[in-house]
Amino acid sequence: MSALVYLSAAIAVIATVLVVTRANAVHALLYLIVSLLAVAVVFYALGAPFAAALEVIIYAGAIMVLFVFVVMMLNLGAEAAVQERRWLNPGIWIGPALLSAVLVGELLYMLVSGGFAAVPAVAGAIVGTGGTATGLAPIEPRQVGIVLFGPYLLAVELGSMLLLAGLVGAYHLGREQPPEQR
């Protein structure tokens, strides 16, 4: 289990290095998605299953789809078809596919070997010296929800205001024509 976590961390670092060094935005996005998935595995091993699920659903799902849409919009033009044909050759997607195949292998190994049951033990081992008994179990979504809507309720409200501001700002800025030409 521990080796799997370090393998995921290595995948995250490799994928992130490739994100920073790619020339093509779509290739970088593929590696960024792999990196986020690998970090989600690390979250799970750290005893934060809710955060791991959010990482996959919101980060690797929603935010990356936003990036993909914008990259698509920036690529309009005659060279788009040529580029499309270039994307179909295997040299492009073989790297992200290999890295995510390793992640899938980890998942299958954990499913087969019952490694999921061992996650609390790993989370407990993180505590190390001087840890208390509260650190011995993963932090469940239930616990997170109770604290989130208890002491942190004001932060949730502020977060909703921030998201509303982001929505209005993106709507205003995302229109096609510059405002003075309308």
Give min distance, CB of 129 to other proteins, in A: 11
Distance of alpha carbon 18 from alpha carbon 29, whole angstroms? 10
Task: Decide whether 94 or 167 has the Cβ nearer to other proteins.
Answer: 167
140 phi, psi to nearest 5 deg = -75, 160
Judged by CB under 8 A, does residue 66 bind other proteins?
yes
Give 84 or 157: the residue with its C-beta nearer to other proteins: 157
Report CA dihedral (89, 95, 101, 106) to the nearest 10 degrees.
180
Given 78, 88, 128, 154, the residue binding other proteins (CB under 8 A): 128
Which phi and psi (to 5°) does residue 89 adopt? -80, 145
CA 10, CA 12: separation in Å to the nearest integer?
A: 5
Secondary-structure breakdown of the chain: helix, strand, coil percentages, each rounded to the nearest 5? 80, 0, 20
Judged by CB under 8 A, the chain residues 81 through 120 that form the site for other proteins are 118
Residues 6-65 that bind other proteins (CB under 8 A): 6, 9, 12-13, 16-17, 19-20, 25, 28-29, 32, 35-36, 39, 42-43, 45-48, 50-51, 54-55, 58-59, 62-63
Minimum CB distance to other proteins, residue 154 (Å): 11
